[in-house]
Amino acid sequence: MRTTQALTITSGEYATESEVIRDGLRTLQARDAAVEKWLREEVVKSYDECEADATLGVPAEQVMARIRSQYRKRTTAE
């Protein structure tokens, strides 16, 4: 990490290591906020829709059968 900090300071992008760290933390906070918003607005809605209408989901047995089939194809093709 020190190398990255030193490079960004040397290049003039930042004046100090503190600026590098602060900017990194702000970036992480923005990303976390975007993920939280996506979870609340999109994922919860989709989950609720699937729970309300069983035809939207795929049975676990069907999913596992497909995974096993794809696994067999890959391992026997080698």
DSSP secondary structure letters along the chain: -HHHHHHHHHTTS-SSHHHHHHHHHHHHHHHHHHHHHHIIIIIHHHHHHHHH-GGGS--HHHHHHHHHHHHHHHHHH-
Give yes or no for residue 13 having a pLDDT over 90.
Answer: no
Q: What percent of the chain has pLDDT over 90?
A: 59
Q: Minimal CA–CA distance to 14: which of 29, 31, 26?
A: 26
Tokens for 72? Answer: 């067999």
pLDDT of residue 2: 65
Q: What is the pLDDT of residues 30-66, one digit of tens each?
A: 999 999 999 999 999 999 998 999 888 889 999 999 9
**For the chain, which residues make up each domain, given as ranges?**
2-77
Give the pLDDT of residue 61. 96
Quick one: pLDDT band at residue 7, thresholds 50, 70, 90? Answer: low
